[in-house]
Amino acid sequence: MKPALDELVSLFREDEVSLAQQLVWMELLLERTETIARLEKIEIRKELKVYDPLWENHPKVKQMRTESREKGRAEGRAEGELRVAQKILVNVVKLRFPALAELAQEKATQVDNPDVLAYLVEQVSTAPDENMVRWLLRPSAA
């Protein structure tokens, strides 16, 4: 494997992107092969690890990381919005009808859409009495 690795490095000396791709293929094949002993695989991985910075700077890897970060941020914002909406619903019910606080908490955890929770907050805020709020928070509502 060492001669193959040296040959790849020599062949792609001027093209780091292609070299990184070839090294990744080599690593994938190494993982899948059953003809190389485990200890030898460990040694080969050590040799390949030297070239990790090439892969880290590969344009596709950078693009995938950027997309992953953006997706994570969006999911985090959505999760944050959901938690805030749940808390608002529970707080509004607690303020208006303390006896229904536990029911509001149960309902808030069942609903996973901030828009639905915002609608419930509007309805609870303008509900004329406790019975109406109980009806709004029943399991089948919203």
Token pair, residue 70, equals 């953006």
Return the higher-pLDDT residue of 117 and 20: 117
- Note the pLDDT tens digit of each residue in 3-37: 888 888 899 888 888 888 888 888 899 999 999 99
**What is the distance between the alpha carbons of residues 60 and 90, in angstroms, rounded to a whole number?**
45
- Looking from the CA of 27 toward its CB, the CA atoms found within 13 Å total 15
Q: What is the pLDDT of residue 141?
A: 47
* Listed range (56-60, 64-68, 123-127) with the worst mean pLDDT: 56-60
Tell me the range of 2-11, 45-54, 96-105 where mean pLDDT is highest: 96-105
Q: Where are the domains of the chain?
A: 2-57, 75-137
1 pLDDT band (50/70/90 cuts)? confident
Beta-carbon contacts of 114 under 8 Å, excluding residues fewer than 6 positions away, are 78, 81, 82, 84, 85
Q: Is the pLDDT of residue 78 over 80?
A: yes
| pLDDT value, residue 6 | 86
Query: What would the two tokens of residue 64 be?
Result: 């995938």
- What is residue 68's predicted lDDT score, i.e. its pLDDT? 93
Q: Does this model's pTM top 0.85?
A: no
